[in-house]
Amino acid sequence: MSADPHALESRLVSTGVERLALLGKHAEALMAGYAREEVPLEGLSTTALNRLLAARILWRPDEQGGVKLAPKVRELIAEMLADETRRHVNADVAETLELLRSLVQSYREARDAGEYWRQEQQLLRLRQEVDDLNGRFADAIDSLWRRLNSDFGFVSRLGDKIRENERAQKQIERLLDGLSLIDFDELIDLVGSDGALRKLLVSGLQQQLTQHFTSLREVQRRLVELMARFRQQQARSRLVAGMAGFLREHPGFVPGNYAMRGEVPGLVNRAAPLHAAGALALDHDADARTLTELLHRLPRPAHRPEPVTAAGAAALQDDTLVAARQQALKEDVERFYLGVVDLGGEPRSALEYLEAAGHDWSPEIWLFQVIAEYQGLPRSEQRAFRLRQQESQAGPFNQLYLIHDVVLQLA
């Protein structure tokens, strides 16, 4: 027979209350053990010591050594005190994901068997594990922020600052690696169509992880900003320290008036040189001869225009004729389009129009220009027409299509 679940829960609660009471009752001795290497036994009776050892609050590494705080209790105190020197953030995502998969399977088995109380218990444990996972990530990010405002922000040496920066960057990398282990495609397949599980393990968890990613990006930005600011301060302090050392070695040094010097040292002369601008004063008659001489000294153009020969004139004339013929073809095609518009939407063949108009254009050139004119129209004007190509395949084994005619009509 299975034990009564309510009795198990009651016994679990009573045991937890007893252990928490032990922590509160012997808080002074426990905090002394946290601050020192071992827990002082002067204020603890034999019965109290045995109860603390049985509750795993204290532990004895060996028989000859003293009694020390259990690691979990020390971490709990470090978390409550925000003691960054002893806090160890553990975001073991892989282990948590394995536990979540096991709990989801147990939840499904209880749901299929109709055991609603066990189903609610498994769902409660799932919520607790997800909350613990989010809490560990939040504690880790909070630890990084505290480190930025304490250890990283108040380090006087550049080497210590760089080491603190590397430590924080490695912790950020570990957190990012842990976040990357959470595969939402796998979680979607795992929860299936169950609404409660999808809300807990997909939508809710994804929202929390988005906040964690945003916080980590802000931490990285703050790290880079603090490091750059520290390097600026370090450079200024080095300059001041160097100047102070120089003055100690040369107590009689008096800075000179650099503004009145003709040659300024390169270290001080950091400004860009000024280039004086010049302009011609045409209203000065005395400078007319000088300007004339300068104009005569200007270099002549290297390439003179070549004279136009008979062959060049013929080529130019041919180009003019070709351009005029192309323009005439374009105008005839435009009149074809305008004729289609005048028909009020009736389809019209391009070759029939060519024959009726009496133009001397080649049918191939004419169809090519009609298609090119349609493709050159803006999108809004193309939608006003409908262009159909009457084509046929060149052969049964040839994918080439031959255009025989083009039919244009209003859409």
Residue 399 sits at φ, ψ, to 5 deg, of: -85, 10
Q: Please, which residues have CB within 8 angstroms of residue 109's CB and are 6 or more apart in sequence?
A: none
CB 216 within 8 A of CB 175: yes
Looking at the structure, tell me whether residues 78 and 98 fall in a common domain. Answer: no
Helix, strand, coil % over all residues of the chain, rounded to 5: 65, 5, 30
Of the pLDDT bands very low, low, confident and very high (cuts 50, 70, 90), residue 284 is confident
Strand 58-59 versus strand 68-69 pairing type: antiparallel
Looking at the structure, tell me whether residues 67 and 122 fall in a common domain. Answer: no
pTM summary value: 0.45
Looking at the structure, tell me whether residues 103 and 11 fall in a common domain. Answer: no
Instruction: Give alpha helix (H) positions in 250-309.
Output: 288-297
Which helix H or strand E contains 325, and what residues bound it? helix 310-342
Instruction: Determine, yes or no, domain membership for 211.
Output: yes
Overall number of domains in the chain: 3
Which pLDDT score is estimated for 249?
92
Q: What is the pLDDT of residues 73-93, one digit of tens each?
A: 777 777 677 665 555 554 568
Looking at the structure, tell me whether residues 53 and 155 fall in a common domain. Answer: no
Looking at the structure, tell me whether residues 79 and 121 fall in a common domain. Answer: no
Which comes out higher in pLDDT, residue 403 or 310? 403
What is the token pair recorded at 381? 């004007």
Instruction: Determine, yes or no, domain membership for 242.
Output: yes
Q: What is the pLDDT of residues 313-338, one digit of tens each?
A: 566 666 778 788 888 888 888 888 88
CB 220 within 8 A of CB 172: yes
Instruction: Determine, yes or no, domain membership for 264.
Output: no
What is the token pair recorded at 239? 């300059």
Does the pLDDT at position 2 exceed 50? no
Beta-bridged to residue 407, according to DSSP, are: 349, 388
Looking at the structure, tell me whether residues 101 and 234 fall in a common domain. Answer: yes
Looking at the structure, tell me whether residues 68 and 94 fall in a common domain. Answer: no
CB 411 within 8 A of CB 377: no
Looking at the structure, tell me whether residues 228 and 108 fall in a common domain. Answer: yes
CB 347 within 8 A of CB 370: no
**What does the pLDDT average to over 28-49?**
80
Single residue among 189, 217, 247 that ends a domain in this structure: 247
Instruction: Determine, yes or no, domain membership for 406.
Output: yes
Looking at the structure, tell me whether residues 141 and 223 fall in a common domain. Answer: yes
Q: What is the pLDDT of residues 187-233, one digit of tens each?
A: 888 888 888 888 888 888 888 888 888 888 888 888 888 778 777 87
Which pLDDT score is estimated for 86?
57
**What does the pLDDT average to over 7-15?**
77
Which comes out higher in pLDDT, residue 210 or 267? 210
Which residue matches tokens 């760089």?
Answer: 162
Q: Among candidates 87, 104, 108, which has minimal Cα distance to 96?
A: 104
Looking at the structure, tell me whether residues 107 and 223 fall in a common domain. Answer: yes
Helix 5-25 crosses helix 27-35 at what angle (to 10 degrees)? 70
Instruction: Determine, yes or no, domain membership for 329.
Output: yes
Q: Please, which residues have CB within 8 angstroms of residue 138's CB and are 6 or more apart in sequence?
A: 212
> C-alpha 101: how far from its chain's center?
30
Q: Which one-letter amino acid corresponds to residue 176?
A: L
Looking at the structure, tell me whether residues 238 and 101 fall in a common domain. Answer: yes
**For residue 33, what are the domain limits?**
1-83
Instruction: Determine, yes or no, domain membership for 266.
Output: no
Looking at the structure, tell me whether residues 51 and 140 fall in a common domain. Answer: no
SS3 call for 392? strand
Single residue among 29, 60, 83 that ends a domain in this structure: 83
Instruction: Determine, yes or no, domain membership for 299.
Output: no
Distance CA 167, CA 8 (A): 44
Beta-bridged to residue 387, according to DSSP, are: 408
CB 205 within 8 A of CB 182: yes
Q: Among candidates 87, 73, 61, 71, which has minimal Cα distance to 26?
A: 73
Single residue among 48, 83, 118 that ends a domain in this structure: 83
Instruction: Determine, yes or no, domain membership for 302.
Output: no
